[in-house]
Amino acid sequence: MSQAEVAKALSSTQSAIARLETAKHEPGVSLVFRYADVLGENLDLSIANWSSYSVTNISIGIRKLLIQNPPDFDMAFRLVTELITQWKRTKEDKRLDLVKQRPVTTGDKRYDAFLGGVVEQLCLDDNLESPSWVSNSEYFLDKFFWLTSIENLKAITMADTPAALSYRGVFVDASSLESV
């Protein structure tokens, strides 16, 4: 299948597909699944047919990624950014539907806190009341969790982390939460 044919099937452009195929673009999770579907490929995750990127579906997807050997922390992070992307694409009066149901645990307290913080921050940014589950103690950490392994960036990351994440003990550069 040519890049032009793939682009047409995805309602995209040939140049966008070229960037994707040459790793000059980091796509959102939904694009990866649509791309694989167009090519007739099956990704080894059951989240490919999601009709909704709710926090519950995201937590299930993260759990599956983290129980793999080795765990896929990069894709788990990307799923969180996909939740943010879907939030922004959803009509304002429907956004809380994505996050109101308490998610199942990811199996990793750090990622549970990460999800709780992201959901609370999204609600704060939109002046919406956060779902009650984000206040539960299991969505807070006793030890800091850095989503960077570069020691020299930790001070900058600490200053740049959204408030709903930092007071949970989760530190991530705010710009890295934006899906490309």
Instruction: Give the tens place of pLDDT for each residue, 70-94.
Output: 888 989 998 999 899 889 989 999 9
| 12-44 residue pLDDT tens | 888 877 777 765 555 665 666 677 777 776 555
Statement to judge: residues 71 and 31 lie in one domain: no
Statement to judge: residues 77 and 157 lie in one domain: yes
Q: Taking a C-beta distance cutoff of 8 angstroms, is the pair 39, 32 a contact?
A: no
- The answer as to whether 21 is a domain residue is yes
Number of domains in the chain: 2
Statement to judge: residues 58 and 100 lie in one domain: yes
Question: Token digits for 128?
Answer: 């919406």
- The answer as to whether 141 is a domain residue is yes
- The pLDDT assigned to 22 comes to 67
What's the Cα-to-Cα distance from 21 to each of 92, 112, 153, 156, rounded to whole Å? 33, 32, 30, 32
Statement to judge: residues 144 and 60 lie in one domain: yes
Statement to judge: residues 70 and 12 lie in one domain: no
For residues 41-52, average pLDDT: 52
- Rounded to two decimals, what is the model's pTM? 0.72
Statement to judge: residues 28 and 107 lie in one domain: no
Statement to judge: residues 26 and 85 lie in one domain: no
List the domain range (segments joined by +) for residue 39: 1-43
- The answer as to whether 48 is a domain residue is no
Burial 71-101 (b: 16+ CB within 10 A, else e): ebeebbbbbbbbbbbbbeeeeeeebbebbee
